[in-house]
Amino acid sequence: MSSALPTRTSKTPAEGGDGRARTGAPPPGSARPGSVARRRARAGWFFASPALLVVAAVTVFPVLFSLVLSFCEVRLDYGGLRLGSPTLGHYEALLTHPEWYRALAFTLGFTVVSVFAELVLGTLVALVLERLGAARGWILALLLLPWALINVIAAQLWSYLFNGTYGAVGWLCEQLFGTQPDILGEPVPAMAAMVVVDVWKTTPFVAIVVLAGLMLIPGDVYEAAEIDGAGPWTTFWKVTLPQLRPIVAIAVLFRILQAFGIFDLPFVLTQGGPGTATQSVAILGYRILFQNLDFGGGAAVAVTTAVIVMGCCLLFLRVFRAHVDEEGRA
């Protein structure tokens, strides 16, 4: 609990800020609480601003630009992109088109299933890793490999393994079940394949984050549980899991963001097919932007996606607010 001290106590004087009374820099070494807090407050922005400026410089304009594009008629002519009169047409076209809802449903389904699977598997893996002795280093290092694999390569590797003619997965299925399923050629297996690849590639991420969380749980908590006579199962549900929640919340949040933007996998594995079964929102946006060259429509996809994800995140943060705030200090 002591760790919460600096942030919590120093907040009040800073916010009370006797800004007008600031007459000069306090002499170095001065330990007067007010001036130290003031100095620290100024240092705060001084420290944070380079990073924030870089982020803002690169992302704010493109985001606003997309917003403007999505509400305008956009035309390309020999001078480049031209903005025409304002319109809601892009949103209207999108919201009245069944394909958008299908893409959204696939993306949501994919996100929920894969993030859930990764969370469960990642926690299991982390629990195993935590208990491993000397082998932990090796296995953790091996786990890092799929995750560090370049996305495009991972997608190519799996498209090779899933290949309908000579893929190893199909061959294995034939040996095990006697039939060779057409994995990428049928909607449900193709969706399942996406989840499998995503789980293979990103469970290590969740596992590592959870493992770091496990290591932060103080041993005395377990001792207390032991004294209370709790078995391993009860200990996990009543002690480990609640302690893990804040860190897991962060991991899940960022996984949701990533999974919702899924692009590389369907792009390489199925091109969104069969039919439009694995067409994610990002693939749809990409198609509208770069195949149809409809920059307004593409921007509308991006904005609607961002609004939806933002809504989910805010909801998520609200539910987990306490945990997120307490993250690391619990």
Footprint on residues 290-309 left by another protein (CB under 8 A): 290-293, 295, 297-299, 301-303, 305-306, 309
Closest to 283 (Cα-Cα) out of 303, 268, 294, 295: 268
Binding-site member from 128, 224, 319, 322 for another protein (CB under 8 A):
128
Closest to 328 (Cα-Cα) out of 254, 250, 257: 250
When asked if residue 122 is in the footprint of another protein (CB under 8 A), the reply is: no
When asked if residue 144 is in the footprint of another protein (CB under 8 A), the reply is: yes
> What single-letter amino acid sits at 142?
L
Size of the residue set binding another protein (CB under 8 A): 158
**Cα–Cα dist 295/285, whole Å:** 10
Beta-carbon contacts of 274 under 8 Å, excluding residues fewer than 6 positions away, are 184, 185, 186, 187, 190
Instruction: Output 43 or 105, the one with its CB closest to another protein.
Output: 43
When asked if residue 237 is in the footprint of another protein (CB under 8 A), the reply is: no
**Cα–Cα dist 254/82, whole Å:** 35
When asked if residue 206 is in the footprint of another protein (CB under 8 A), the reply is: no
CA angle 182, 255, 59 (to 5 degrees): 115
Binding-site member from 110, 119, 259, 264 for another protein (CB under 8 A):
264
Residue with token string 């095990």: 176
When asked if residue 234 is in the footprint of another protein (CB under 8 A), the reply is: no
When asked if residue 319 is in the footprint of another protein (CB under 8 A), the reply is: no
Binding-site member from 18, 22, 32, 43 for another protein (CB under 8 A):
43
Binding-site member from 18, 22, 58, 88 for another protein (CB under 8 A):
58
**Cα–Cα dist 326/167, whole Å:** 47
When asked if residue 65 is in the footprint of another protein (CB under 8 A), the reply is: yes
Binding-site member from 104, 157, 173, 192 for another protein (CB under 8 A):
157
Binding-site member from 104, 139, 173, 192 for another protein (CB under 8 A):
139
Binding-site member from 119, 208, 248, 252 for another protein (CB under 8 A):
208
Q: What is the smallest separation between the CB atom of 116 and another protein, expressed in angstroms? A: 18
Binding-site member from 22, 32, 60, 315 for another protein (CB under 8 A):
60
Closest to 284 (Cα-Cα) out of 87, 53, 103: 103
The 10 Å Cβ neighbour count of residue 37 is 20
The 10 Å Cβ neighbour count of residue 323 is 18
Q: What is the smallest separation between the CB atom of 152 and another protein, expressed in angstroms? A: 5
When asked if residue 66 is in the footprint of another protein (CB under 8 A), the reply is: yes
Using alpha carbons, list the distances in angstroms from residue 187 to 192, 263, 273.
9, 17, 7
When asked if residue 95 is in the footprint of another protein (CB under 8 A), the reply is: no
Binding-site member from 21, 24, 131, 188 for another protein (CB under 8 A):
131
5-16 vs 33-70: helix crossing angle, rounded to 10: 90
Instruction: Output 39 or 116, the one with its CB closest to another protein.
Output: 39
Beta strands in 128-226 (DSSP E): none
When asked if residue 99 is in the footprint of another protein (CB under 8 A), the reply is: yes
CA angle 96, 71, 278 (to 5 degrees): 45
When asked if residue 242 is in the footprint of another protein (CB under 8 A), the reply is: no
When asked if residue 322 is in the footprint of another protein (CB under 8 A), the reply is: no
Binding-site member from 18, 48, 109, 315 for another protein (CB under 8 A):
48
Beta-carbon contacts of 111 under 8 Å, excluding residues fewer than 6 positions away, are 256, 259, 260, 262
Using alpha carbons, list the distances in angstroms from residue 297 to 75, 95, 300.
11, 11, 5
What x/- string results for residues 165 through 204 when contact with another protein is judged by CB under 8 A?
A: xxxx--x----------x-xxx-------------x---x
